[in-house]
Amino acid sequence: MITYTKAEFEQKTPAMVDKIIKGNIFIHPTDTIYGLGCDATNQKAVEKIREIKSRFTRPFSVIAPNKNWIRNNCEVDEKIEEWLSKLPGPYTLILTLKNKDAIAKATNNGLNTIGVRMIDHWFQNAARDSNKPIITTSANHIGENYMTSIDNLKTDIKSKIDFIFYEGEKLGRPSTIIDLTNTPEKIEER
């Protein structure tokens, strides 16, 4: 497994973006915890993440490239615009997906909703620069503790990823989920 730093990402941005677009599986930092990621439009890569996590039914969230991507691919009204104004931040917004071709079917298993994030972190640039949504799911198996440092990354996950963007221990918590497909919205702290 290759480890990259923020400086290496910034120095080699075109090459890093190319790796993402080509279907590589990686671990990335966020403003909350480490995530397991890939290009959310790449069906084979998303299926590989499903296998790594043994997570076959629940949908994955994505880091959106920008707010326009969200507006173009999800149903957005005044209430949702209010939440978009809070981004980037530690929120996952559950929205109705209006363009099912914006992501690989395996991302949300064909549901009509998608969880979207815009992270308050330098790694947001990977989504922006690739102009692709990036899968973001905790780097652990269901029911296990999420990864906070490379020291507690499970060996079986580590052996199946191509690289990691690493910046030391993360002391955050998973993002707050805001389900905006319901009225009133449903908020789930994790």
Beta-bridge partners for 98: none
Residues 6+ apart with CB under 8 A from 103: 40, 41, 62, 73, 97, 114, 133
Give the pTM.
0.95
Q: E-assigned strands of 84-158? A: 91-96, 113-117, 134-138
- In order of start, what are the domains of the chain with their CATH numbers? 2-188 (3.90.870.10)
Are 130 and 15 in contact by the 8 Å Cβ rule? The answer is: no
Task: Going residue by residue through the chain, which has 190 residues, state the pLDDT in tens, using 9 for 90 and above.
Answer: 899 999 999 999 999 999 999 999 999 999 999 999 999 999 999 999 999 999 999 999 999 999 999 999 999 999 999 999 999 999 999 999 999 999 999 999 999 999 999 999 999 999 999 999 999 999 998 889 889 999 999 999 999 999 999 999 998 888 999 999 988 888 887 7
